[in-house]
Structure 1
């Protein structure tokens, strides 16, 4: 079973590398140069043995010395170039892999991010690709040249003196019986360390991203204890890895000493009997080190390879996921048509239905307000309209077309979305307003003025080039909302969705933002989620959602007269205090 998994892992890695289309010419040149490096390395001990056997400085052969110098030069030059070329190939593979993975992450549906922590996904992009990069750029070169060197060296040793070679290799079967179980244990610990590191990284990302919540909740001690558990697990696994290395290193050293003793003892006997020369015995020692060094590289390769298998499986898991096809579907369509929701039912995985047979129509260039208690499915409804999710049953139509038949990119380009806490990115005000569109300065300024954002922007030292800080922390809530409205205006959407866009603002900011929203709503089909009925009583249509179902629909006056819960909402929120 393990062998099948190993073969499958090899195939996965090879498939992953093939899909990055590595430059074959560079690989071929690198392989030829690696072979040349090995041949030059194999020639050096033979030439050295002749020098030793010549016995005196006076009898030194200039051609022999020149041959050694040339072999060293070829080995160094060819080795350097081959290592550079293989490293370049490795960097190409990793750059291509990261490009594929980044492209994939951007077109995965929102449902993927609902079920995966951001830190874990970031770990796939950085840590896991880094593990593969290390295998290719650092260990693969040593593995390839090491294998070629060992095969060539063993061949030369058998030609040089096969009895001594057999004695030397008699230690290997016994060594493998000891080393293989230890190696398997190292693999298990390495994979555990890799998984634990990814989990620890995900936890760090989560905590540091919400550091203000941590501090406001006095949760420093709690998060420290959680982090300490992760650190202790990493410490324990690191100690286990250290113990295995502590056993492995002296064991390998002992095996090398045993081999040296065998060569010195048995080789000395063969030199004494005249069956081999002193120069050949010296060559044997040099060849021995030409085997030992590559074996170390090969062992490192297999240790890294085991780490890479876990990383490969996780990356392939992401690359095999279904994506949002942004361009497929109808590219051009008329948005000046009714938007109809027909019997929509939707539930998140492993949860009860959030929406149940929701049906209503939105007329073009009208305002439809969606109200109801918290948890009734209002924001989920907006997510279905954005096509972040697909309904379990039912459909949404624009005129006679299902919105699923429309190009996702074209459909979303028609929508302007302003939420309760519109996302602001670290960067300048200009970059935030122009995010996703290419607005000219004139259009940018007009959008900012209509959003009443230009007022405070002009008072800032760097105006539109002012840095807003991570998640817009340097701006007030009202300023962030006005930038979000300017962003929506710059998109020039035909359909507008406002998700409680003023609920978190103070009364002064709310007045300014409401004025900006009025500018944004002109001539557009608008859907508004609002807890405050004062903001939607003039809507053309109010839809009341209750426990995922539409329980009322009409104007404000109609619902006050016909819908008991809406009437309670209205009386509670709109009642004028007695003077």
Structure 2
């Protein structure tokens, strides 16, 4: 169940505890700022009659006193705002860092259903909006509330009956602000959903611009983009209409209230309940209510927008998380790389069964190729080994450890994966191979040598400090793949997972990468997902999967001699003979 947005904002209050000193300092200067308002109203009450009487000395004296009060007030406001900005902005930072941390722990299956553009928007724009609401609450909303209390208190002091007549309009204004706020919240949620969709489409489009041009699909993608922009514009326009209507309605009520107060004030003066100077102070105080009411109205609308953003951030918090930190660590210190898959079955949440009663034993140091049609379960086996997915039945044992009962980080430390699509973050080559691990430069160089990457790295201008641009655009596909292999070998894993690591390369790049893979596979258990069966012939065992079951198993020669499905697939790829 989604908690109410109001209570969610209250849950952020403990984040302010480390900043009690700043909050206390800000509160002191806020108090000085607020107290200045009744003093200014009192001075205005003296100033107006003095102006009417033409008493220049008194007028100049009061103006001087008012300037001093204004100076003290504005200086206090500056100190208050700057001191309170730190804790408010720190909460925004904490929210973003906490959500990014939670993002690292979301179940892979759930994470893959989230749009990268939408996640990016939530952790940037939505987090910023929540931070702005917190800042405005601390820096503006709270002082405005205290200003209202102080000024109204002074008005009651001057004439309680006149003050009550003035405050009679307050419930009406509060009711209207609340109603408008509900509308703003609804329309803002729709607007933010639209901008997230737009961000998702934009992120996807940027990645495939070459493909769009190759197919001449510019007009089609432009049309889709324009439609999303138009939907966002319409949603945003509805939100702005709500805001545009609110200000004149509330402004009219405020103007009406002022006129009513003037009329009642005339009656009170006529009755002798208040004198001209007192009414001048009262009226000045009344005018001082307009600005904080306007601020509170605006801040209330922004609060509604912040609530919409907070709800979207809470969606990430509620996503299912991996449960592994409290599980047993790896028991053995001798990592051989033995894999046993015992009666394993797995189905996705949509009910699609991918693995069914699978039994396999892979000896340490063996090279095993997984082949078969798309959807046979090859990639799913990799995900199950890495604990990205959890089977519904059966178990996987690595070196005798049931990985379901073992800490996920420990399980993954035994393995490394070289994916088909190379994912390299921008940064230096050294950083890319380290990938956040505490390794010496010598260890990085050793991994690069095994991956056949050291020579080309040393020929680059900055060698290991060469900066890799976003998406690796300044390196070739073969160079990126060899860096990926070096990254995989850095921790000397006992199990290496190769997901068709050369399929996207040209012949020259494939040869250099294949040399790297041949060195990387020495003395390791290796599982290879292979669609091009020319890469499977050196495997100790080839496992042909169909609908999550083992259809055939054996060496290349054995399976070719069986005249079964594997031989049929090989012949389709023009691999006709037993290896010669």
When normalised by structure 1's length, the TM-score is: 0.91
Any idea what the Cα deviations from partners look like across 1:49-72, whole Å, max 9, x if unmatched?
235556564774999777645533
Structure 1 pair 539/111, CA: closer, same or farther in 2 (3 Å)? Answer: same
2:102 is matched with 104
Contact 1:340 1:398 in 2 (8 A): yes
Please tell me whether the aligned partners of residues 502 and 514 of structure 2 are also in contact (alpha carbons under 8 angstroms): yes
C-alpha change, 1:179 and 1:317, in structure 2 (3 Å) is: closer
**Is the 8 Å Cα contact of residues 38 and 152 (structure 1) preserved in structure 2?**
yes
The residue number in structure 2 matching 1:458 is: 458
Per-residue CA deviations over 1:513-556 (Å, capped at 9, x if unaligned) read 22211110111111112233332223222211112111122222
Deviation at 1:150, TM superposition (A): 1.2
Task: State which of 187, 190, 196 in structure 1 corresponds to 2:188.
Answer: 190
1:254-293 aligned within 5 A: 254-271=252-269, 274-293=272-291
24-33 or 111-120, which deviates more: 24-33
Deviations along 1:141-170, one digit per CA (max 9) or x if unpaired, are 221111111122222212212333233334
Alpha-carbon offset, residue 418 of structure 1: 1.1
Partner of 1:36: 32
Residues 289-312 of structure 1: per-residue CA shift (max 9 Å, x gap): 221111111111211111122222
Structure 2 spans left out of the alignment, 5+ residues? none
Task: Pick which of 206-215 and 223-232 moved more.
Answer: 206-215
TM-fit CA distance, 1:46: 1.6
For residue 313 of structure 1, the aligned residue among 311, 314, 317 is 311
Distance 2:561 2:576 in 1: 16
Shift of the 179–567 alpha-carbon distance from structure 1 to 2, 3 Å rule, reads: closer
Which position in structure 1 is the counterpart of 2:22?
A: 26
SS in 2 for 1:502: coil
Task: Tell me by how many angstroms 1:271 deviates.
Answer: 3.6
Q: Matches of 1:513 and 1:178 in 2, distance apart?
A: 69
- Do 1:422 and 1:484's aligned partners in 2 also have CA atoms closer than 8 Å? yes
Q: CA deviation at 1:363?
A: 0.6
- The 8 Å contact of residues 184 and 305 in structure 2, kept in 1 or not, is answered as no
Residue 293 of structure 2: aligned partner:
295
Cα contact 2:376–2:545 (8 A) shared by 1: yes
1:205-262 CA-to-partner distances (Å, cap 9, x unmatched) read 2222332333333332222112111211222233333433333333233223222322
2:329 — aligned with what? Answer: 330
- Stretch moving more, 559-568 or 225-234: 559-568
Distance 1:176 1:526, change over 3 A: closer
Distance 1:463 1:143, change over 3 A: same
Please state how far the C-alpha of 1:576 moved relative to its aligned partner.
5.9
Bigger mean CA offset, 287-296 vs 131-140:
131-140
* Deviations 1:412-434 (CA, angstroms, capped at 9, x unpaired): 12212112222122233332222
CA distance in 2, matches of 1:409, 1:308: 36
2:422 equivalent in structure 1: 422
Contact 1:140 1:301 in 2 (8 A): no
Cα distance change of structure 1 residues 172 and 440 upon mapping to structure 2, 3 Å threshold: closer
CA RMSD of aligned residues (A): 2.8
Distance 1:332 1:220, change over 3 A: farther
SS in 1 for 2:427: coil
CA distance in 2, matches of 1:174, 1:548: 67
Change (3 A) 1:97 1:499: same
Report the Cα distance in structure 1 between the residues aligned to 2:570 and 2:56, rounded to whole angstroms: 113
SS of 1:46 mapped into structure 2:
helix
SS at 1:370 equivalent: strand
Aligned counterparts of 2:260 and 2:475: Cα–Cα separation in 1: 77
Tell me, what secondary structure is at the counterpart of 1:491?
Answer: coil
Question: Contact conserved, 1:378 with 1:529, CA < 8 A, in 2?
Answer: yes
SS of the equivalent of 1:79 reads: helix
Deviates more, 1:105-114 or 1:165-174: 165-174
- Which residue of 2 is the match for residue 405 of structure 1? 405
1:473 aligns with 2:462: no
Q: Distance in 2 between matches of 1:337 and 1:266?
A: 90
* Correspondent of 1:212 among 207, 210, 213: 210
Cα distance in 1 between the residues matched to 2:271 and 2:109: 78
For 2:96 and 2:17, locate their aligned partners in 1 and report how far apart those are by CA, in whole Å: 13
Residue 524 (structure 2) pairs with residue 524 (structure 1): yes
**Contact 1:426–1:470, Cα closer than 8 Å, also in 2:** yes
Equivalent pair of 1:451/1:485 in contact (CA under 8 Å): yes
More deviation, 224-233/160-169: 160-169
* TM-score in terms of structure 2 length: 0.91
Q: Distance in 2 between matches of 1:8 and 1:442?
A: 54
Question: Alpha-carbon deviation of 1:477?
Answer: 2.3
